Homo-oligomer: A and B are copies of this chain.
Amino acid sequence: MSIRPLHDRVIIKRIEAERTTASGIVIPDSAGEKPDQGEVIAVGKGKILENGSVRPLDVKVGDRVLFGKYAGQSVKVNGEEVLVAREEDILAVIEK
């Protein structure tokens, strides 16, 4: 069983940031808040433009991404909680 986000939506699996690593990217948050980075596990076909054409998204499955604290909606896929967000909500891709 898999999940296919529509259009410009992506499915993100949250990643607990390594908060003690000096060289790691860490999102400042209050204790107990969910981390705001994750791995993209599914992407939609693309953003639909006003002229009806489709622009493929600029993130792909496997990308590690930063997103806004209040982005998207949480759902559970195969017993695991994931986030359904729009590409628009993604701030940046973390590259290794």
Q: Which residues of B contact A59 (CB under 8 A)?
A: 6
A73–B49 Cα gap in the complex (Å)? 27
Give the complex CA separation of A7 and B96 in angstroms: 19
| A-side interface residues, number (CB < 8 Å) | 49
30 contacts between A and B (CB under 8 A): A1-B24, A1-B95, A3-B66, A3-B95, A4-B92, A4-B94, A5-B91, A6-B58, A6-B59, A6-B93, A22-B78, A22-B79, A23-B79, A25-B76, A25-B78, A26-B76, A28-B74, A28-B75, A28-B76, A36-B75, A42-B92, A48-B55, A49-B50, A49-B51, A50-B51, A52-B55, A68-B73, A73-B91, A75-B91, A75-B92
